[in-house]
Chains A and B, each alone.
Chain A
Amino acid sequence: MSTALLKTVSLVKSFSAAGNLFGRGGGTVHAVNDVSLEIKSGETLGIVGESGSGKSTLGRLMLRLLEPSAGRVEFDGVDLASLPRRELRRLRRRMQIVFQDPYASLNPRMRIGAIIAEGMRVHDLAPRAEVKQQVLDLMERVGLSRDVFDRYPHEFSGGQRQRVGIARALAVSPSFIVADEPVSALDVSIGAQILNLFIDLQEERKLTYAFISHDLRVIEHISHRVAVMYLGRVVELAPARSIYTSPRHPYTQALLSAVPTVEEKGRVERVVLGGEVPSPLNPPPGCAFHPRCPLAEERCRIEVPELKAQREDATHQSACHLR
């Protein structure tokens, strides 16, 4: 765990919003705004945030499934933006994505076996005769029975489809996987199985994850480090343990206290945040969190706080003028 496998440098992604019929309400949305972070080889970076925080957009930028508006992404030392299309396609083998919606993420007209095998075939990773065997092994590994090879996605439950999605990603032997809310659509007991599968696969195959979720409980279980996002920016970045034991940013604190838990003891004092996440079309000036922040001062309304290391702990970064 030393070198950065993936690095984003001042990454920005803006979309132009169309507005209504008369052109009103249009403008630019900075879905991801000036995000710089590193993911070390073999670690899991958890990315957590509410809707509109830009976490999914960030995940897709990391794989260059979206073109950044500014800034860059380096994978294993290579600037992804500098790669010609063909080279990029070759590199895609090493970075994969698993999606949230197990219903939308599988081609309904292809059989399970063909879905998993496709990547191997495209990249010519196995001799023709061995592809089927390798697919069957993979299916077994992710917990699918071998006799579903010729079945179609619609015959399966959400959990099983998610296993197919994972097998499809693993088929090309990637080193980095972006998992975009992979358990959010699943029931608790099934989600736990899938989460364990992710953890086991990481150990076996030395995988590096960017694990995106809105659920802090899930993020804590799987992450080594956690990035908390709010309106396109990373507001806190720290080792998982330290984010849960001593959150610095007021937003992280509120988020943690809002999570409903079954424990009575040891829970943080509930801070119910007033107001709602502002529209990303029209973010507040200064610190984007200030309208909802219980601590906000004059300075927060003007100056955008930078993500900086905490005095007492250099690995713990927070973007708050006051903390």
Chain B
Amino acid sequence: MNGLLSVENLQTEFHTEEGRAVAVDGVSFTIAEGSSTALVGESGCGKSVTAMSIMRLIQSPPGYIRGGRVMFDGRDLLSLGEAEMRAVRGNDIAMIFQEPMTSLNPVLTIGYQIAEALRVHRSLGKREAWEAAVRMLELVEIPDPAERVATYPHQLSGGMRQRVMIAMALSCDPRLLIADEPTTALDVTIQAQILELMEALREKTGMALLLITHDLGVVAEHCEQVLVMYAGRVVEQGAVADVFAAPAHPYTRGLLRSLPRLGGSGKRLATIPGMVPPLDRLPSGCRFRDRCESAEAACAASDPQLQECGSGRTMACPLWCELGSLAATESRP
């Protein structure tokens, strides 16, 4: 595998009034050049913090990256100076966020904002950058780009703003795009448009995509690899088709089963009992064991590590890994 980004044992913690909370606790994964990887999990699992740590955009205080390495293109991003890191952000790695309204500056035209990145990273002149901005708007399929380029964010709908964000992110040809819940604030028909656009652009530009989402449906339809996070850890990792066809970790299975789905109309849903424990009150051993249907005494004793379970799948549950549960297709509802 040709690793573009490789995160090794990343550890990020927050210091709050209540104490220290380790939001990301030893996360490791690799993203191949041109691939699409989903990072899924429920709120508070650390998926956004992971992304922000890669970009080194964690507000400090209260957040601190305590350990690990983020290797991008042979360099450890965590050891770069602030100026070097700025040259990476928006240039090699770009990011888009959930709320396109607050991510755009309301008093500047969208053309100016797209051109700005080009002028900073590519040292383009004013005129050239402006023309490039128009081309970017065309690329993200905004109608009448030559006129829209001079409009302000509030004159655009949510979907259009997200297209502008994508245009900004892609303006410097990044090799990795990190998209943090890019369609969560959008309606389904608009979400479908944006996701199709992102997929088409990925094919066109050859960039890799790290998509952070809570929506397993989006993962199933738009990504190749998936990382499932729970309480600051990656609990399962593999190819989307494999993981969804035969989820192995009890959390992944529970999550998939509790998903309301079309055509099910099956009234009651299967659920995972209880709720995600607060980071300062994690159970000993496996963090999921309180909610796990197959928990045993051993689960309290040792903290399960990610291990290979065959066919490119890694997982943090020795129980199901040993049981060869990947054949346990009957776990599907």
Contacts and interface: CB of A to CB of B under 8 A. Distances in A.
A and B touch in the complex (CB under 8 A): yes
Contact of B188 (A190, A255, A274): A255
A220 interface: yes
B42 interface: yes
Interface stretch (B145-153, B216-224, B319-327): B216-224
Contacts of B188: 50, 214-216, 255, 258-259
Interface string B156-194: 010110000000000000000000000000011111110
Contacts of A192: 258-260, 269-272
B262 A159 contact: no
Interface in A180-217: 187-193, 195-196, 199-200, 214-217
Interface residues of A, number: 45
B264 A260 contact: no
Contact of B255 (A189, A200, A254, A267): A189
Contacts of B195: 260
A5 interface: no
A220 B262 contact: yes
Nearest to A190: B275
A262 to B, nearest CB: 4
Interface SS of chain A: helix, strand, loop or mixed?
A: helix
Interface string B207-243: 0000000111111111000000000000000000000
Interface string A271-311: 01110110000000000000000000000000000000000
Interface in B31-59: 42-43
B281 interface: no
A211 B192 CA distance: 24
Contacts of B193: 272-274
Contacts of B215: 260
B266 interface: yes
B192 A262 contact: no
Given A189-B254, A272-B192, A277-B187, A259 B271 contact: no
A215 B260 contact: yes
B322 to A, nearest CB: 25
B196 interface: yes
A189 B192 contact: no
B265 interface: yes
B261 interface: yes
B256 interface: yes
A164 to B, nearest CB: 14
A195 B262 contact: no
A241 B265 contact: yes
Contact of A157 (B214, B268, B269, B275): B275
Contacts of B189: 50, 254-255, 258, 272-273, 277
Nearest to B245: A264
B273 to A, nearest CB: 8
A152 interface: no
A189 B261 contact: no
B204 interface: no
Nearest to B195: A260
A218 interface: yes
Given A190-B275, A214-B187, A263 B265 contact: no
A273 B244 CA distance: 27
Contact of B192 (A187, A241, A273): A273
Contacts, number: 131
B261 A263 contact: yes
B267 interface: yes
Contacts of B81: none
A215 B214 CA distance: 14
A221 B271 contact: no
Nearest to B268: A196
A221 B260 contact: yes
A189 B258 contact: yes
A143 to B, nearest CB: 10
B61 interface: no
Nearest to B269: A192
Contacts of A274: 193
A63 interface: no
Contacts of B267: 199, 221
Contact of B220 (A218, A254, A256, A260): A260
B214 A188 contact: yes
Nearest to A189: B272
Interface string A2-23: 0000000000000000000000
B278 to A, nearest CB: 9
A258 B268 CA distance: 24
A50 B267 CA distance: 23
28 contacts: A51-B187, A157-B275, A159-B275, A187-B42, A188-B255, A190-B275, A191-B258, A191-B260, A193-B258, A193-B271, A195-B260, A195-B269, A215-B260, A217-B259, A217-B261, A217-B264, A220-B260, A240-B265, A241-B265, A244-B262, A258-B191, A262-B256, A263-B220, A270-B192, A272-B192, A273-B189, A273-B192, A277-B189
Interface of A: 50-51, 157, 159-160, 187-193, 195-196, 199-200, 214-218, 220-221, 240-241, 244, 254-264, 266-267, 270, 272-274, 276-277
Given A216-B188, A277-B187, 4 more contacts: A215-B260, A256-B262, A262-B217, A263-B262
Interface of B: 42-43, 157, 159-160, 187-193, 195-196, 214-222, 244, 254-256, 258-272, 275-276
